[in-house]
Amino acid sequence: MPNLYPEQFITTPTELPETQTSQVKFGRSWRFDFEAGEFVLTTTGKIAESKDEDSWIDWCQKTLLTERYRYLIYSRQYGQEFEDLIRRNLNRAGNESEIKRMVTEALKVDPRTASVDNFKFTWDGDKCFYTCTVTSVRSKTATLNGEVVTG
């Protein structure tokens, strides 16, 4: 039987060349205070901007606060799926593994994200508090915090 996947079409994953990594644009966005739940204003009353890596960090935080598939304005790749953990009835180790996978998957959609690692978990009943380190393709790191209700 002939091979369904000819060798010329089989590719192996490779690291992005330095030229592609340096061409990733970081852009700008509006600065948001996630604790207060509102935009940050300048002294003149305008919404403050965040640029480059700061806008990427804001994107990461917003992504982890947005439920995937809930809002039509976002693509199907945007957001996280933490609500799925409630109906799975996993033990703590299983929930931690899934939180790690979901956070990594949500953040790696963006080409500006190089890695997501150093996860730490703290439990309070059914609530799991997590901390992780996210690194950009420009080697800037940030610590992200979040919480997930698992039951």
Beta-strand runs (E) in 64-126: 113-124
pLDDT in tens, 23-64: 777 777 777 777 777 888 888 888 888 888 888 888 888 888
Residue 4 contacts by C-beta under 8 Å, 6 or more apart in sequence? none
Q: Taking the model in full, what pTM does it have?
A: 0.76
**Given a cut of 90, is residue 122 above it in pLDDT?**
yes
What does 21-61 look like in DSSP terms, one character per residue? Answer: HHT----EEE-EETTTTEE-B-TTSSBPEEEHHHHHHHHHH
Please give the Cα distance from 119 to 23 (Å, whole number): 29
Residue with tokens 């990461």: 60
